[in-house]
A and B are shown apart, each in its own frame.
Chain A
């Protein structure tokens, strides 16, 4: 019965193999995290080359900041919702409606701060409704968000039908200042990062994403937290809405459309796990948002004709998502 000694775990050979396997597991995880950054880095280098440096000229960096502002802010809020495995199809509609309310208030002569507050209130209201319907009626959040989406879209189109709402662009041009946007971005990133990684808010949302039953059995008030995540998203969408209004100067029937799909693209592109859970990283959502902006900006800067731009966008999206997409838990829509 002595052969057991020869093949026990403690033998050097086996220890080496075990360490090897451990290392492989670790590096696989690392690669998943790094690929979106590699993709972004590649795009940067590529565009610098083909635009002969114009891509990183001061004016284009400024452009990149203003162009990525909306999506980045939204991505921060979206991280909390996606961390617990939720999603929200209504943010485009609430964004548009919020801009509508804001625009109307400004045109009617109300002070700026009231209009801004109202704008953010509308998006938070929409987000609360989405979460409220889902949690209250026990339906998937997908349905709740579609209800809100249809309602808010209806309102927006009904009002916009009688004519676009146009604000005095020149009077509010100071709201387009790049400095202001950078400051707000930094604040949101800092606060978002803190909440996501160092507080109960972030950790509970990730736990719910990992396994909602376990979270509940650990005493997590999951309904309250899910609701809070949506409010956070609503707040971010509200801020993005405010600055979008002042950037375009008007609200039309199609304002805000497509925002939710950009958000989902950013999440997927950055390697954020679709089902949420512990592996959710705020940075993933941010990288995704920046990548989308860089792509659109760079392609336009490069000067390809429009048909080719759409073609290349499509191909690159597919490639990057194929590699970044975190397949650990599958489902795209829960």
Chain B
């Protein structure tokens, strides 16, 4: 009896310790993140002679004497351990810090867990707005119940019923997505331009995400329009693209080009181990990782694209517009604003990409984002967003940030 009692006490004690430890850990995490961001911006600023962004911004605020209202903005993504998740977190945190907002991140989950998670997070309280990657009518209903406006980022529902469901809510402000169709199309096109006529494609299972479905559609449409390009094989297994490489290679030694709906370090490693790195096979795909440069240098990769987190920043701007003075940029919420990916085709472009699209300074800095916000730029309109989207190229970013980032 005594032994079991002791066990009970120990259990409660460990519980307390574990929970308090993680709580403290959690807090230091957040503060560390904040410090990181301010540190990096000050680092960047230290190297310039002109006034720094954050510096000038606070000066401006101090000068105008008004303090921006504090909003609590919630961001939803599937998980923050992957590269894109990290970029999202960084970029959104950056914008929120610059504009006196509190950023809250949570993992969306799937199925009915997604609905439950949103319910709980919103109950925690005081959320003023939600930016979500992936959404559905059920969650819109929850958001509406808690009076939270919603903007979508990097994804938009594909099913008609879902779209009409979500857009029927007044608090739905619209969405901003990446032109996945074009990405798929361009991937195939670049392989074609590199001389490949026998190709393979590794996609993701249909229905899993609209973004991937659209890329697949782009790929297939290009193939249809160019019958002299032959698709030797395609596969749609979730997350196992790196296994396609040895399989395809074994079955089709005549492969000239391989396209992927999503690139990753694992993929590059697989290509390496299959000895395809000698340049006989060309590759193209979405998402740029650390190894991409190497493969461009060796002439294996001919096309890549990335920079999705910029889209999330635009979504943030749309939300902020509504929060600060009720401006609704998008009047017809059934159509998302489409933005191109940042495409790279050479090693030099890769280097530029890493330098300028890395998160030391996000693609839109705190000052530049003002262009999209009615409160600071009363002339901004929906059309303005469209042309702003059109200008989203690597070149544009280099022009804007060239002197703000030094090696």
- Direct A–B contact in complex, judged by CB atoms less than 8 Å apart: yes
Interface of A, secondary structure class, is: helix
Contact for B158 among A42, A66, A163, A308, CB less than 8 A: A163
List B91-148 residues whose CB lies under 8 Å from chain A: 104-107, 110-117, 119-121, 123-125, 136-138, 141
Interface stretch (choices B22-30, B34-42, B183-191, B241-249) = B22-30
Given the contacts A162-B207, A253-B208, A255-B111, A170 and B137 also touching, CB distance less than 8 Å: yes
Cβ contacts A140-177/B at 8 Å (1 or 0 each): 00000000000000000100111110111110010000
Q: Do B120 and A297 have beta carbons less than 8 Å apart?
A: yes
Q: Do B25 and A302 have beta carbons less than 8 Å apart?
A: no
B252 at the interface (CB under 8 A from A): no
Given the contacts A27-B1, A167-B161, A250-B136, A63 and B123 also touching, CB distance less than 8 Å: yes
Q: Do B11 and A323 have beta carbons less than 8 Å apart?
A: yes
Given the contacts A168-B165, A253-B205, A302-B124, A308 and B26 also touching, CB distance less than 8 Å: yes
Contact for A57 among B29, B123, B165, B206, CB less than 8 A: B123
Contacts of A67 in B (CB 8 A): 116, 119-120
Given the contacts A168-B161, A169-B137, A306-B79, A28 and B124 also touching, CB distance less than 8 Å: no
Interface stretch (choices B13-21, B294-302, B338-346) = B13-21
Q: Do B137 and A254 have beta carbons less than 8 Å apart?
A: no
B332 at the interface (CB under 8 A from A): no
Contact for A249 among B23, B136, B160, CB less than 8 A: B136
Contacts of A254 in B (CB 8 A): 110-111, 208
Rounded to whole angstroms, the CA-CA distance of A254 and B205 in the bound complex is 11
B81 at the interface (CB under 8 A from A): yes
Rounded to whole angstroms, the CA-CA distance of A197 and B302 in the bound complex is 69
Contacts of A312 in B (CB 8 A): 18-19, 22
Q: Do B138 and A248 have beta carbons less than 8 Å apart?
A: yes
B266 at the interface (CB under 8 A from A): no
- Chain B contact residue count (CB 8 A cutoff): 53
Q: Do B124 and A161 have beta carbons less than 8 Å apart?
A: no
Contact for A305 among B29, B112, B115, CB less than 8 A: B29
Rounded to whole angstroms, the CA-CA distance of A51 and B12 in the bound complex is 19
Q: Do B123 and A161 have beta carbons less than 8 Å apart?
A: no
B225 at the interface (CB under 8 A from A): no
Rounded to whole angstroms, the CA-CA distance of A51 and B110 in the bound complex is 25
A6 at the interface (CB under 8 A from B): no
A96, chain B: closest CB distance, angstroms: 9
Q: Do A59 and B123 have beta carbons less than 8 Å apart?
A: yes
List A32-64 residues whose CB lies under 8 Å from chain B: 35, 38-39, 42, 46, 50-51, 54, 57, 59-60, 63
A14 at the interface (CB under 8 A from B): no
Contacts of B63 in A (CB 8 A): none
Q: Do A50 and B23 have beta carbons less than 8 Å apart?
A: yes
Given the contacts A70-B112, A250-B162, A323-B11, A307 and B205 also touching, CB distance less than 8 Å: no
B171, chain A: closest CB distance, angstroms: 14
Nearest CB to that of A157 among chain B residues? B205
Rounded to whole angstroms, the CA-CA distance of A102 and B249 in the bound complex is 42
A205 at the interface (CB under 8 A from B): no
B8 at the interface (CB under 8 A from A): yes
B364 at the interface (CB under 8 A from A): no
Contacts of A160 in B (CB 8 A): 207
A311, chain B: closest CB distance, angstroms: 6
Q: Do A28 and B159 have beta carbons less than 8 Å apart?
A: no
Interface centre among B26, B79, B159 (most CB of A within 10 A): B26
3 nearest A-B residue pairs (beta carbon):
A300-B120, A169-B137, A166-B161
Q: A162-B206, A170-B141, A305-B30 are in contact. List 20 more A-B contacts (CB 8 A).
A: A27-B1, A28-B1, A54-B125, A57-B123, A63-B120, A67-B116, A160-B207, A166-B159, A166-B162, A169-B136, A169-B138, A248-B111, A249-B165, A250-B138, A252-B111, A252-B208, A301-B121, A308-B26, A315-B22, A323-B11
